[in-house]
Amino acid sequence: MKNRLLAVSSAVLLAFGYTSSSAQEGPTEPAYLYTAEVTNVVDGDTIDVDIDLGFYIMLKNQRIRLVGIDAPEKRGESRVAGKAATVFLRDLIDGKSIILKTKKGRDDADRSDSFGRWLGVVYLDGIDINQALIDAGHAVEDIRD
């Protein structure tokens, strides 16, 4: 019985990729991954999505703030750059199915911003869209999130 329990435990650990080297690297930031449909690009760092939670459960019309970046605003002095960032993001992801990585925290302060928007990283075909905005010059890195 003891040997069988040990074998099952070992198989489970191997199935989840646990090794002594990964234990030494330390914990990674907990996160959730979802498939989502982009329904609206609000500006260069904010989108609206319908999130597929699985088991035929959808979370409709959720506002997501792209974490780790800051794009210019569409109003005020930066409006030209803000509109360009919005168009760039819209051309990339509007109406498309994306992978959304959200932070997992103990309270809402870890998962959302002061406007109640969920914080997330957007991936399209394996490309980090948050980073793509920075690389294209439409956003800067923002460490506040």
**DSSP strand E in the chain: where?**
31-43, 46-54, 57-66, 69-70, 97-103, 118-124, 127-128, 140-141
Task: Say how many CA atoms lie within 13 Å of 96 toward its Cβ.
Answer: 15
Counting every residue, how long is the chain?
145
Within a domain: 96: yes
Supply the CATH number for residue 77's domain: 2.40.50.90
Nearest to 37 by CA among 122, 114, 115: 122
Tell me whether residue 9 is in a domain: no
Residue 86, in any domain of the structure: yes
Task: Specify if 93 maps to a domain.
Answer: yes
* Number of domains, the chain: 1
Query: Is residue 100's pLDDT more than 90?
Result: yes
So which residues are the catalytic ones? 65, 73, 117
Residue the block writes with tokens 């948050």 = 130
Range of the domain at 63: 27-141
Q: Are strands 57-66 and 118-124 parallel, antiparallel or unpaired?
A: parallel
What's the pTM value of the predicted model, to 2 decimals? 0.74
The 10s digit of each residue's pLDDT in 23-75 is 444 456 678 999 999 999 999 999 999 999 999 999 999 999 999 999 999 88
